[in-house]
Amino acid sequence: MKKPLQIAIDGPAASGKSTVGKKIAENLNYLFFDTGLMYRVATYAVLEQQCPLDDEGKLADIISLADIQLQNNSQTGETDVLLDGKAITDLLHLPQVDANVSLIAAIPAVRKLLTAQQRKIALQGKIVIAGRDIGTVVLPEAPLKIFLLASAEKRAERRYLENLRNGIPSDYDEILYNIKQRDQIDSNRNVAPLKPAEDAILIDTDSLTQNQVADKIMSLIDQ
């Protein structure tokens, strides 16, 4: 049985795309590519340069000049992110990045730049690629498209526990608020809004563990 060369996993904030995507990639010996990290690093670069968010031209210039590198770290299993050669992985989930990333990701010029880079990487194959618009825009021809669903409360709880495990101080109510805000902006933007592709398989993860979700996707891959 031939395995799909590209597996697209989309879904709202903290729906488990990265955890599940990494497990699938590991099982298949594929690359895991988290496109959300690109929007986060772009946001970090813009905030670092104190660029006003309504100056779209300058913002796009900053992002197009940024040297963004994502490197899978085989020792930690995480993706190391470099901006202009500097490791910034630990800074990408700071509250100021969470608060601004969806605003920056809604800007058409930003999406144009990042989507082109993402598509180029995705076309190399043997890849599990996670995001919001992979099945609809970045790689609509992906042979397997998954869309993960979960209630905002469940997602906030998962993110809260994940932060605790990673030693990141956080507040459940703040996380829930941010998740709802991002969902709202991501779902309603004009370009590449968050929505399942017509041929995506929807998985409601509320009552499933991340391992059960990964097993479900593995069985779809094996079908």
Binding site for ligand CDP (CB under 6 A): 13-14, 18, 35-36, 39-40, 101-102, 105, 131-133, 182, 186
What's the closest the beta carbon of residue 35 comes to ligand CDP, in angstroms?
4
User: CA 134, CA 95: separation in Å to the nearest integer?
Assistant: 25
> At closest approach, how far in Å is the CB of 108 from ligand CDP?
12
Output the smallest distance, CB 32 to ligand CDP, in A.
Answer: 12
Closest approach of ligand CDP to the CB of residue 192, in Å: 7
Q: How far is the CB of 15 from ligand CDP (least distance, A)?
A: 6
Closest separation in Å from C-beta 36 to ligand CDP: 2
Name which of 29 and 69 has its Cβ closer to ligand CDP. 69
Nearer to ligand CDP, 119 or 126 (CB): 119
- Pick the closer one to ligand CDP by CB: 145 or 182: 182
Nearer to ligand CDP, 6 or 35 (CB): 35
And the tokens for 216? 């479900």
Name the residue nearer to ligand CDP (CB basis): 2 or 108.
108
3-state SS of the chain? CCCCCEEEEECCCCCCHHHHHHHHHHHHCCEEEEHHHHHHHHHHHHHHCCCCCCCHHHHHHHHHHCCEEEEECCCCCCEEEEECCEECHHHCCCHHHHHHHHHHHCCHHHHHHHHHHHHHHHCCCCEEEEECCHHHHHCCCCCEEEEEECCHHHHHHHHHHHHHHCCCCCCHHHHHHHHHHHHHHHHHCCCCCCCCCCCCEEEECCCCCHHHHHHHHHHHHHC
| Position with the least CB separation from ligand CDP | 36
Nearer to ligand CDP, 49 or 184 (CB): 184
